[in-house]
Chains A and B, each alone.
Chain A
Amino acid sequence: MSAKVLLVDDSSTALLMGETLFKEHTSYEVVTARDGEEGVRTAVAEKPDLILLDVVMPKMDGFTACKEMRKQECLKSVPIVMVTSRGEPRNVEEGYRSGCNAYLTKPINANELLEVVHMFIPLRSKRAAAAVKDGNCK
């Protein structure tokens, strides 16, 4: 079974970039969400192996969405990578405080994104994939 990546971004361009990269250059399955609330719902329903999360989004921003995801038992160990235009140090710090594992700034560099994703997905498969697939999500 291939790994599943959840992309959460309100930008069609950013989603297209992620979808293109993962569909053409990996075997990962891709699911998408367009705002923070939908991102949390989709994460709970889909139980992805990795989440790429924008920060500035309608309804619920990425920091809040990240905290909400971490409250869910089934998402506690899922790697979350913030991918955002907000590269100022205070935003990076807030990202890590909200529970993300890595922080990438836009504009997206395809090679960098793939490297980070490849770094996290094997780690997670070894550690927790099986457990989380059966975990409890509210």
Chain B
Amino acid sequence: MNPDSRTGQDSSLADIMEAGSRDFRRQSIEQGSDLSLWTKLYVANQTMLSALQQRRMSEALVEICSNLLGCEELAIIEINRETGKVQFVTVEGLQKEKTDFVASNGRQVEGRISPGNPYVCADPESTIESELVDSGISAIVPLWVDVRSSGALILFQLLPQRSGFDAEDREVLNLLSIFAGPCLRSQRRD
């Protein structure tokens, strides 16, 4: 997409994300001790920014989750706030029983993300006990909440070499909770 053809909303979102990318990149150069964190944040932000411009946000989120978080089982959903009905925007690597679980638990998912922060279950020291954890969910990232619907990115099983999300992962999840939703909404408006 030519930047000049962006709508006003797209343009301001892209401007904010571009500033974020510049900052993450600068930090990744200056902050030797946190090189991995800042590089991941830069790459995640830049991947979303490119996807916003190319209208391929869902693919970008799948790539970020796979390459930066080690999760290849995920779903992006929209929950109708009035009925609790779940609509799948993207499903990647999930077996039917997991999509069925999500489809019938929209309210539970919505409840976990209503504070606006990622809900992380995959923590080796976590003592959370719930149906969501038992179903294999690792994290739920809020994407948007408005009058009509809520959006969420649900991450299931992590790759075998991962035992849970660490501090770096949580920062990436936080970044996704800030920008992924607006990027998806922007894409779906077109």
Contacts and interface: CB of A to CB of B under 8 A. Distances in A.
Do these two chains interact? yes
Interface of A: 11-14, 16-17, 20-21, 24-25, 85, 87-88, 105-111, 114
Chain B CB within 10 A, most for which of A11, A20, A87, A109:
A20
Interface of B: 25, 28-29, 35-36, 39-40, 42-44, 46-47, 50, 60, 63-64, 66-70, 72, 159-162, 169
Given A17-B67, A111-B35, A111-B36, A106 B25 contact: no
A88 B160 contact: yes
A11 B39 contact: no
B47 A106 contact: no
Q: In terms of DSSP, what is the predominant structure of the interface of chain B?
A: helix
A113 to B, nearest CB: 9
Contacts of B159: 85, 87, 105-106
Given A11-B66, A87-B161, A21 B39 contact: yes
Contacts of B64: 13
Given A13-B43, A85-B72, A108 B35 contact: no
Contact of B66 (A85, A88, A111, A114): A85
B92 to A, nearest CB: 13
